[in-house]
Amino acid sequence: MLATTDVISLPEGGFLLDVREDDEWAAGHAPAAKHIPMSEFVARKDELGDPEGPVYVICRAGSRSAQVAQYLNENGVEAVNVAGGMQAWEAAGKPVVTNSGDTGTVI
């Protein structure tokens, strides 16, 4: 069974992987997240490096991130799906920024 957490329970400083597409990322993302779109993930998965601890995977609502987290787990990387995704992140009052550091929004 796929491990899942909510945005409130995410550990401070955990490795957060955002798998939304470029336009979603550009509108707003978590400040410390790593961005690899789901559509490019298999080709770019080596960009994860060798993370210490689990990779927390997030998308808009939780469906795409669940698929990527499952893929990572099947390929030897400990991964946890973030339930509710960036919608829950924003609703919890967590920071959402653009690439320039301005306040962003979740689309």
Q: Which residues are catalytic?
A: 59
Residues 6+ apart with CB under 8 A from 1: none
Nearest by Cα to 61 from 30, 33, 89, 31: 89
What letter represents residue 47's amino acid?
E
Nearest by Cα to 81 from 69, 92, 73, 71: 69
